[in-house]
Chains A and B, each alone.
Chain A
Amino acid sequence: MATSSMLAASMQPAAAADGNASWEMDSALLFYSEKDRVSVIEPVIRARKEIGEDEFLNLRLVLDSLTGSSANGAIPQSTPQTFTSPSGDGTYTTPANETPLDPTFHDTRVAFSIDWEKPVNKTLRAIYSANISKEFDYTSLGVSAQYAWDFNQRNTTFTAGVSYNLDTVNPVGGIPVGMTAMPTTTAVSKASTDSEDTKNVAELLLGITQVIDRQTLMQFNYTYGNDSGYLTDPYKILSVVDGSGNLRAVDPYLYESRPDSRTRHALYWKTVHQFSEDVVDFSYRYFWDDWGIKSHTFDVRYRYQLSGGNYLQPHFRYYSQDEADFYNYKLTDGSIPDYASADYRLGKLTSTTYGIKYGMALDKQSEFSVRAELMKQSVDAEGPLPDVDAAILQFNYSFLF
């Protein structure tokens, strides 16, 4: 999870109670574009209002529009390959020696979340949150609660949170039976269990935030996640080759299948430190799960304070993961496992992101910023799998309403 309306283990600073309690508005427009693959336009608006003493309401609305092509999991061949589209009504052909991409990929997602921050007493604060998101083939419903307890003269904060999500997948063409053949013509229907399936996600957070000194703040979190249900990607397939390495003649492509449970852990450390005016923000995360994935994430942002409240903020992120136990670039005829996926995102990979953000204080209460980032994903697993390059451009505008 941790994607949409994630309840971050950090409370917002209480805005100065000015009595007239206007809405603090935050808006963003994101353009995300992968070379030869997916493009996304994503506007977001967030509104925050003080509704009582130190009591806040946060609302967020997101629209996410996606078009383009996505790797279907099959491997390149020296001859063109033809696949059936997920609906089973059409086909698409990949030229020789190219990574097969499914061009029927398109989606629109709408997501809404509401958070209610409420002081329980002088040292204990609570945030209750609910979220819903809808795509034409995916629905997600979730609730969460988080408590933050200040002690040691508010220099130490202990945070605990829980969340639960119920997601429903209703893919085009139904839920394929894992490890059964993808039809190679529209005359044959895929083996399907049902039109939809569900997935449950439960998460737990324990964290400590500590003021180190006047200029330094640190946070340590542990999060635990348990996913169960349909965790497979219904659109992904694997190629099956024969003993001599050629695509087998009968049923050359199988639908992927992932285990129906997953337990995840993450340890997270973040430090924010202010120099004379500049601020550095560094974080590291170690992640591991029972699918065999382990990962390291380093993220650093350095905010150069310019005159007039403006700033320039370079960003660097490095991510590296090991592959899942059931990741396979391809399968071999005669030894088909129970679980397998060729989704490169489950393979051994590294992502590197470079970005820069420029922020302009328009007046005391409003700010405009723009950021540009480049992300490169390199797959280090068996190949050849091409790198995925993405460019990100984002505009932000915040104001009082």
Chain B
Amino acid sequence: MSKLLQVIILSVLVLSGCSSLGVQPWERDLLAQKKMQLDPYPLDTYLDEHIYYSKESSSGGKGVGGGGCGCN
């Protein structure tokens, strides 16, 4: 848990300490492109997550929910 706290505190400091972070509304041209989205190809992500979930013992981080599988 202490690791979690450290990361949260660091994130908050990083995000709040730099008031220059961010852009004006008219500077969003690049951020609006599909290739700049956090998940531009959701089917790739879906298939990757399904493979890794079936072959490894970790999950989570990107999102919540979704169906389970037998994956024996």
Contacts and interface: CB of A to CB of B under 8 A. Distances in A.
B52 A319 contact: yes
Contacts, number: 279
A211 B21 contact: yes
Given A28-B44, A133-B69, A163-B65, A345 B25 contact: no
Interface in B13-30: 15, 21-25, 27-30
Contacts of B4: 222, 265, 267
A44 B57 CA distance: 24
B57 to A, nearest CB: 5
A135 B70 contact: yes
A153 interface: yes
Give chain A's interface residue range (CB within 8 Å of chain B): 35 or more
A210 B65 contact: no
A211 B39 contact: no
A46 B44 CA distance: 12
A27 B38 CA distance: 19
Contact of B67 (A113, A155, A217): A113
Interface in B47-61: 47, 49-61
A6 interface: yes
Contacts of A62: 46
A210 B21 contact: yes
Given A211-B22, A211-B23, A220-B11, A132 B65 contact: no
B65 A161 contact: yes
Nearest to A223: B60
A191 interface: no
A331 to B, nearest CB: 20
B30 A143 contact: no
A328 interface: no
Interface of A: 1-10, 12-13, 26-28, 30, 32, 42, 44, 46, 60, 62, 64, 70, 105, 107, 109, 111, 113, 129, 131-133, 135, 137-138, 140-144, 146, 152-156, 161-165, 167, 169, 199, 201, 203-205, 208-215, 217, 219-225, 233-236, 264-268, 270, 272, 274, 279, 285-287, 291, 293, 295, 297, 303, 305, 311, 319, 321, 324, 345-346, 349, 351, 357, 369, 371, 375, 377, 388, 390, 392, 394, 396
Interface of B: 3-4, 7-8, 11, 15, 21-25, 27-39, 41-47, 49-72
Q: Which 10 A-B pairs have the closest CB atoms?
A: A155-B22, A163-B65, A268-B61, A144-B65, A10-B38, A4-B67, A138-B70, A266-B60, A6-B66, A8-B63
Given A152-B22, A155-B23, A321-B57, 19 more contacts: A4-B67, A6-B63, A8-B39, A8-B45, A12-B37, A44-B46, A46-B43, A163-B65, A163-B66, A204-B64, A214-B31, A215-B30, A220-B11, A223-B63, A266-B58, A268-B61, A293-B58, A346-B57, A371-B44
